[in-house]
Amino acid sequence: MTPTITAFERSPDRGKGLARDMRVRWALEEVGQPYDVRLLSFSEMKEPAHRALHPFGQIPTYEEGDLALFESGAIVFHIAERHAGLLPDDANAQARAITWMFAALNTVEPPIVDREIATLVECDKTWYEQRLLVVEDRIRDRLGELSSRLGDANWLDGKFSAGDLLMVAVLRMLNGSGMLDEYPNLSAYVARGEARPAFKRAFDAQLAVFTGKPPAG
């Protein structure tokens, strides 16, 4: 059965692949599962029909027959569990890959989201500059720790997994901030993720929504 996901009709990032449907598209592309997309305006996202799928009125959602899911991490996990390719077969290696999924969303993403909120919503406040410094220090702590753990490995734990997919997606939220450049192994890690054919297909499909032109190829 072909799943349907939801995405922004007009992405605020202008197709830079930062809206969270990108994580779901990327996972589906990695496992070779075709999908449909239902585009939503901001007002449609807050209407009862969409809130029945997503209590917080956000994207992405995922529908597959009777199953409806929200939260990009839960959706990526579901895709990884149902298809080969995103989680290792060995039970312990699988548990470690899932740990990295949680680490991406629970430990690395929160200060990055705080920075996003600061720059978008709090930039007119008198305390903005001070807050930004504090938030960026918290991000640097996490990036330094992640950089030490990754070392010169290609991926976080052996082969590419759903843990890497989510970690790369989260780190990409720093694109344009210059912060990743301070950690060359993390920049290279993100570049490796972005070079994956499945990432490119997902990126092009999301960009096509913004440009209105079908993806090339």
Ligand X SMILES: N[C@@H](CCC(=O)N[C@@H](CS)C(=O)NCC(=O)O)C(=O)O
Identify which of 170, 160, 169, 205 has the alpha carbon closest to the alpha carbon of residue 5.
205
The nearest distance, CB 56 to ligand X, in angstroms, is 7
CB of 166 to ligand X, least distance (A): 9
- In the complex with ligand X, which residue's Cβ is closer, 77 or 160? 77
CB nearest ligand X: which residue?
Answer: 58
Does 116 help bind ligand X (rule: CB under 6 A)?
Answer: no
Residue closer to ligand X, measured from CB, 16 or 200 = 16
Nearest to 155 by CA among 186, 117, 120: 186
Q: How many residues bind ligand X, per CB under 6 A?
A: 9
Of the candidates 19, 27, 118, 174, which one interacts with ligand X according to CB under 6 A?
Answer: 19
In angstroms, what is the minimal distance from the CB of 30 to ligand X? 18
Q: Among residues 17, 25, 30, 58, which is the contact residue for ligand X, using CB under 6 A?
A: 58
| Closest CB to ligand X among residues 111, 147 | 111
Q: Which of 9, 44, 63, 71 binds ligand X (CB under 6 A)?
A: 71
Question: Closest approach of Cβ 112 to ligand X, in Å?
Answer: 12
Binding piece for ligand X, criterion CB under 6 A, among 25-33, 57-65, 152-160, 191-199: 57-65
Output the six-digit token pair for 177: 């901030």
**Which of 20, 78, 115, 142: binder of ligand X (CB under 6 A)?**
20
The residues of the shown chain that bind ligand X, judged by CB under 6 A, are: 19-20, 45, 57-59, 71-73
